Amino acid sequence: MLEKIDNFKFKIPKSFKSGMKLDGIIYADESLIQNMQKDQTLDQVANVATLPGFLSYSLAMPDAHQGYGFCIGGVAAADIENGVVSAGGVGFDINCGVRLLSSPFEEKDVKPKIQTLIDELFKNIPTGTGKDGKIKLSKTELEDVLHNGVKWAIRNNFGTDRDEEFIEDNGLLNYAKSSVVSEKAIIRGKDQLGTLGSGNHFLEIQVVDKIYDEEAAKAFGLFLGQITVLIHSGSRGLGHQVCTDYLEIMDRYIKNNKINLIDRQLACVPINSLEGQNYLSAMAASANFAFANRQCITHWTREVFGRIIGSKELKLVYDLGHNIAKFEEHIINTKLRKVLVHRKGATRAFGRGNKNIPSAYIEIGQPVLIPGSMGTHSYVLKGTEKAMLESFGSSCHGAGRAKSRTKAKSETTATEVLNELKKYGVLAKAQSKDGLTEENPSAYKNVDSVVEVVHNAGIALKVCRLKPIGVIKG
Amino acid sequence: MNNHYEILEHPSDIGILAEGKNLNEAIEKASLGLSSLIVDNNSIDIKEQKQVELSAIDKESLIIKWLNEILFYFDSENFICKNTKVNKIEKFENNYYIFGYFEGEKFSIEKHKFKIHVKAVTYHQFCLKETENSVIIKVFFDI
């Protein structure tokens, strides 16, 4: 049964479920772990531990909740020689992620114009519903995006060279191949570049309202009272279709090779198989689309700020993905090994000195961006050396849902949500009423306690807190 | 269960439980459930028809593929589905085949009440239960 390791860590021993090859480790406090026990989170952490070729342990972050296949908040590292890659372990929204922009403005410069700012952002940033995308690409142009990621966006005047430096992997996974992305995925994606999407995706205007680590905040270009913008979006229909296509391919592989899986959604193939290599190339193409997507949204945000507030100067603090599998080097049983880290609703949190983080942050550690729910705080943390040693350089990705969509919707109305947010000082605009009610703040776990757990466990440390003042949603 | 489908709760996503007299009808009802998550079904008129032919290794993945096709048409052609019709499901050698059509119209933000984007159809807790007089499909979607 579940064992408590310390105040912020629990262990699911191999004896929990037959077939487990590894222990499960869950970062949580008493209250968060109790909530996880109400759904299938622990079972899903254990299920991942039954897959072949994963190393050390199957992890879950404090925002973990029941997903499909992997839990949301799940992290696992596969041996690249003998391990597998699981499309379900990355998720449908490939390289869904967040990026934070810092402004030279303070709250007093923006607050009086917040209504106009939100209206204009809403008008200028398409949600992607009903063909409202502003960028229509030919197949060849889309393939260019898939191969070049953010470089495509910068070449087409959607950003600056500086932006590229402050994106995980510089906004480009170089093993992308559009030839292994299906025609269907191409068709779904070609009018969706530069669209926000719905569900939990959003763009938020925030104020830095608390600094915990002056040195790190300074290095990240953040100061008290400053206006920031947080963008949360992913690879849209293109990524969803790639995942759907490869789930079928992996499912077929499992059947043809007579492999027994504990959950069909965990369908996986050896990394070194043709199917595995093709998936990783298609996943990389989708990741590049997501990087370019957030870049285009950034461009329009800058334009709107220029028109309404008087300056386009929004600097990219960092952009990171939280649904992705990455080739990385980690110490496994005292040896440095190359592994494929699956992060399904978890972010990378590399500590200082790591060569993969921007040189401006090398003495600090990478920024770890944790969005809260609408109306609650978001956090900036920094990655740590401890994360490198015990969580494959990973941390949590958000608040995590606490209530089902149906329950959240039944308990409130869109008007009530808008009024409630207004009371907190947050102006919200959404395309759909369901988008507001299903995503209302009470539907989420308390982001503060999620952040406290990763901070106290030492796998990411608090740098500053961001309070929302305006939000647009699909 | 009513004549159509039932919405199932999930900690982060949404599911549908659909029952029909036979497999074809159960799939049609699950499809109605899915399209009703995206827009208000009553607001959709029938102006277009999409012929659908798909194959898969078993009935479960065939149903998932059919439902995914509804999402594909929404993203790719802006087409929203009011009804679906399954004409035939057959097994040939090692594959299952489904033939039918979707009917509906192009989505318009002014005309149709948009609810939410459904990203994909999952195998998570998927269940197909076939008995002599009824077929039940339980399926969860990623939102």
Contact B116 A199 (CB under 8 A): yes
How many Å apart are CA A239 and CA A285, to the nearest integer? 9
Residue with tokens 């703040």: A441
Contact A67 B117 (CB under 8 A): no
How many Å apart are CA B70 and CA B79, to the nearest integer? 8
Residue A31, amino acid: S
Q: Which residue of A has its CA nearest to B6?
A: A406
- pLDDT interval class at B143 (50, 70, 90): confident
* Residue A419: burial class (beta carbons within 10 Å; 0-12, 13-18, 19+): exposed
- Report the mean per-residue pLDDT for chain B: 93
Per-residue confidence (pLDDT) for residue B3, from 0 to 100: 59
CB contacts < 8 A (A, B)? 118
How many Å apart are CA A431 and CA A434, to the nearest integer? 9
CA distances from residue A387 to A26, A344, A424, B33, B98 in whole angstroms, order as listed: 14, 17, 34, 43, 49
pLDDT in tens, B25-68: 999 999 999 999 999 999 999 999 999 999 999 999 999 999 99
* Sign of the C-alpha dihedral computed for residues A401, A404, A406 and A407 taken in this order: negative
Nearest to A129 among B61, B114, B143 (CB): B114
Task: Give the mean pLDDT of B84-90.
Answer: 97
Segments in chain A below pLDDT 50: none
H or E, element range at B45: none
The closest alpha carbon to A84, from A279, A262, A284, belongs to: A279
Percent of chain B clearing pLDDT 70 (strictly above): 98
How many Å apart are CA A133 and CA A13, to the nearest integer? 48
How many Å apart are CA A280 and CA A282, to the nearest integer? 5
Residue with tokens 């942050």: A361
Flag whether the pTM goes above 0.90: yes
How many Å apart are CA B123 and CA B40, to the nearest integer? 25
Which pair of tokens denotes residue A113? Answer: 């114009």
pLDDT higher for A373 or B111? B111
B interface mutation test: which of A65, A233, A404 has the most B CBs within 10 A? A404
Numbered residues of chain B with Cβ closer than 8 Å to any chain A Cβ: 7, 9-14, 56-58, 60-61, 65, 68, 71-72, 75-76, 78, 107-109, 114-117, 119-126, 140, 142-143
Per-residue confidence (pLDDT) for residue A386, from 0 to 100: 97
Instruction: Write the DSSP string, A271-321.
Output: TTSHHHHHHHHHHHHHHHHHHHHHHHHHHHHHHHHHHHTS----EEEEEEE
Which pair of tokens denotes residue A461? Answer: 């440390």
* Residue B51: burial class (beta carbons within 10 Å; 0-12, 13-18, 19+): exposed
Per-residue confidence (pLDDT) for residue A280, from 0 to 100: 98
Number of CB atoms found within 10 A of residue A356's CB: 15
